[in-house]
Amino acid sequence: MMSYAEFRAREGFRHEEILAHAHGRLVADPPEGFASRLPLPPMLMLDRVVEITRRGNGGRIVGERDVHLDDWFFQCHFLGDPVQPGCLGVDAVWQLIGFYCTWAGAIGAGRALGCGEVEFSGQIRPHDGVVRYEVDIRRFADLPARGAAIAIGDASVLVDGTPIYAIRGARVGIFRDISYADYPIASERSRGGRIEGVGR
């Protein structure tokens, strides 16, 4: 574990630290309302964050994931023609933007809010090596009075150094008081629906 101050000062995170964040065990002294989590495997699409920086209202985060011959999605997508689903690459970008928001000081739980454009010009196959997600944060806004924060980013996804996806306008929000820690017990937040403060 590390202190919240150490977390905010870091410029990269190792695989075990990414997993610790997904389990809610990375930060020893989280501030009140700190509910941010990355997804657990198999939905966790990151092995490490190799760069994370902030420049005013923008910044950059770069993550990597090692490709494995027996990754779960190769077993079903598709039989006789294994390829990583493109939507998982988009989700990886959302995961990174949410992690950036938390690192930048947003308090709450993350939710993907949408994406502008996605273009696929290549694919990820079982014998590839490393997928790299390079995300430029165009705008980060922390809005504590509204109990929310938002970040918008553009990303390039590369496999073994070759660009294969371009993602523009990916949006993630961090919201206070929406996490559902009682799962699977039915409670106040056990049902979905519209999140206050989201939308036009």
Q: How far apart (Å, rounded) are the C-alpha atoms in residues 168 and 25?
A: 32
Q: How far apart are CA 96 and CA 133, in angstroms?
A: 8
Q: Is 15 a catalytic residue?
A: no
> Which is the catalytic residue, given 15, 21, 68, 77?
77
Do 155 and 133 contact (CB within 8 A), yes or no? yes
Structure tokens at 1: 């574990």
Cα–Cα distance for residue pair 153/71, rounded to 1 Å? 27
Read off the tokens for 189: 């937040």
> Based on the number of CB atoms within 10 Å of its own CB, is 170 exposed (0-12), middle (13-18) or buried (19 or more)?
buried
Cα–Cα distances in angstroms (integers) from residue 144 to residues 14, 64, 130, in the given order: 29, 31, 37
Tallying the residues shown for the chain, one arrives at 200
Q: Point out the residues that are catalytic.
A: 77
